[in-house]
């Protein structure tokens, strides 16, 4: 495969400046300048302050709420398209609105597909993201999607813990596939939590499927929002005889009282990536950076080489 010898350019949305800087530094380059004009009513306008004509560009930014973060990504993509960029890759470490991936009741939108169509309409020619809430979201795009897995960065961390009697756990039935993938690689058993909700973010009942007696448990999930599920599961497992419980979640939304819940819970630690900036420090939270993984994949994308060696599972 012929390699691209013209260096790409990199631009960042404002919500993820630290991660964007890390990624581009790992790549061995520098961020391009984006100037933002602000109107008094909250409207804003990005402007690329350097030529992108005929270039491959990477636009880095997570699209977590509020909607301004998504809008900012769309506007920078549109600006690059109108400035005659050749390839526009949207690097979205956390793909926001992904929980709305289906109609689970009447008269609701499938917002994840709406976002996919908006990104394509704006001019994105490729998407790089990590741990989508549901794998089928890749099918919402008509452009190539490089869907990375946080296991690539988390697995070395787990192995370095050197835990005996390790057990992987899923906090709900929907995450069982992810839990079994981790357990297969680590050659250990799996326990699954069965939960019932009164409404979004409110758990009415939780039960364990499996025995955690004498085990060091690691709960794995794609995101932690209010931390209600993970902390409830950790407390229940400790009551059932677990030696320790850790939680591992790719995207640390950590909204509302999440930090307080984590601090007060029986979790030994919560391990997250830096796809979303952590607003408040917490003694139990450990951050493992995804920047090297994204930088490596972006190198391979630009040079038209395979990224299959970047997947642990």
* Residues designated catalytic: 195
Residue 110: is the preceding peptide bond cis (ω within 30°)?
A: no
- Candidates 64, 61, 7, 8; CA nearest to 36 is 61
- Distance CA(88)–CA(78), nearest Å, equals 10
DSSP label at residue 195: E
208, 240 contact by CB (below 8 A): yes
The Cβ of residue 28 has, within 10 Å, a number of other Cβ atoms equal to: 9
- Distance CA(103)–CA(101), nearest Å, equals 7
- Candidates 48, 53, 59, 45; CA nearest to 89 is 59
- 272 Cβ neighbours under 8 A, 6+ residues apart: 224, 248, 249, 250, 251, 252, 278, 285, 286, 287, 288
- 54 Cβ neighbours under 8 A, 6+ residues apart: 6, 84, 85, 86
């Amino acid at each position: 495969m012929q390699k691209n010898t013209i260096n790409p350019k990199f631009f960042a949305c404002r919500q993820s400046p630290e991660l964007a800087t890390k990624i581009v530094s790992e790549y061995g380059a520098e961020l391009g300048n984006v100037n933002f004009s602000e109107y008094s009513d909250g409207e804003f306008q990005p402007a690329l302050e350097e030529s992108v004509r005929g270039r491959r560009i990477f636009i880095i930014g997570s699209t977590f709420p509020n909607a301004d973060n998504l809008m900012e990504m769309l506007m920078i993509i549109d600006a690059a398209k109108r400035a005659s960029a050749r390839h526009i890759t949207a690097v979205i470490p956390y793909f926001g609105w992904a929980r709305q991936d289906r109609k689970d009741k009447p008269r609701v939108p499938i917002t994840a597909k709406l976002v996919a169509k908006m990104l394509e309409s704006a001019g994105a020619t490729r998407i790089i993201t990590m741990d989508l809430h549901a794998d089928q979201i890749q099918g919402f795009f008509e452009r190539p999607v490089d869907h990375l897995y946080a296991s690539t960065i988390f697995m070395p961390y787990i192995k370095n813990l050197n835990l005996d009697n390790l057990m992987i756990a899923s906090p709900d039935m929907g995450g069982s596939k992810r839990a079994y993938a981790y357990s297969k690689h680590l050659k250990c058993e799996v326990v699954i939590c069965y939960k019932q909700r009164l409404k979004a973010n409110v758990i009415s009942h939780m039960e364990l499927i499996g025995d955690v007696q004498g085990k060091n448990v690691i709960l794995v999930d794609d995101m932690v929002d209010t931390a209600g599920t993970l902390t409830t599961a950790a407390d229940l497992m400790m009551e059932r005889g677990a030696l320790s419980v850790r939680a591992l979640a790719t995207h640390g939304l950590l909204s509302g009282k999440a930090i307080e819940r984590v601090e007060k819970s029986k979790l030994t630690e919560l391990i997250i990536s830096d796809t979303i900036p952590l607003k408040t420090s917490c003694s139990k939270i450990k951050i493992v950076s995804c920047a090297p993984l994204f930088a490596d994949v972006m190198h391979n994308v630009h040079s038209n080489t395979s990224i299959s060696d970047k997947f642990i599972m």
